Structures are given as structure tokens and as C-alpha cells.
Amino acid sequence: MGGNSMRWFGAIGASFVIALALGLYLKDQIAFARIATAYVAKQTCSCLHVGGRSLENCRKDYQPQDIAQIAITSAGQDVQASALGGAISSTAHNTPGFGCKL
């Protein structure tokens, strides 16, 4: 094998190691985002539809730094929380008389 082939194998190997490390790091971030968006969607839905509070008032239940990266929207009986630019999101739906569920 020539020198160019060895360089290509080295570059491919280094790229694989970097991709693996990035994947392991992102795995935890994605898992946390899934849990956080589900929690925020459910709690905010209950706050709005069961507690009868406004969205602005419900936001006070969270520490600002805890939800800084989570967008919360409400439409009708649904509340959606999303993170990572909308790549991860959860929606909770209120059924009157029964409450909110994911």
C-alpha cells in the first residue's frame, strides 16, 4: 500500500473515533432533552388546563436556567415543549375532566 492509502485509512479511523465520541456525548444530551420536554409539557398542561393559570404564570414554576433551552407553546388543549431547536419535542393533551397526558 502506498502512502496515500495509509493517510486515507488514518483519516477514516480518526473520523470514526470523533463520530463515536460525539455520538456518546449527544446520547446523554438527547436523553435529557426527551425527559425534560416530556416533564415540562405535562406539568405546563396541568398548570394551564387543570390549574386554570396563564402560560406566563405557569412559567414561574420553573427556574429560568432550567427551561432556558426549552420552548413552550400552547394551542387549544395541547401544550408542546421542544428543545434542541425543535429536534426533540413532547406534547401533552388535556381531556376535560380527566386531565393531561403525554
- The pLDDT confidence band at residue 29, using thresholds 50, 70 and 90, is confident
> How much is the mean pLDDT over the chain?
90
Across 28-39, average pLDDT: 92
Show me where the domains of the chain are located: 3-101
Q: Is the pLDDT of residue 92 over 80?
A: yes
Across 59-70, average pLDDT: 91
Quote the pTM value.
0.76
Burial pattern 9-40, b for ≥16 Cβ within 10 A else e, equals: eeeeeeeeeeeeeeeeeeeeeeeebeebbbbb
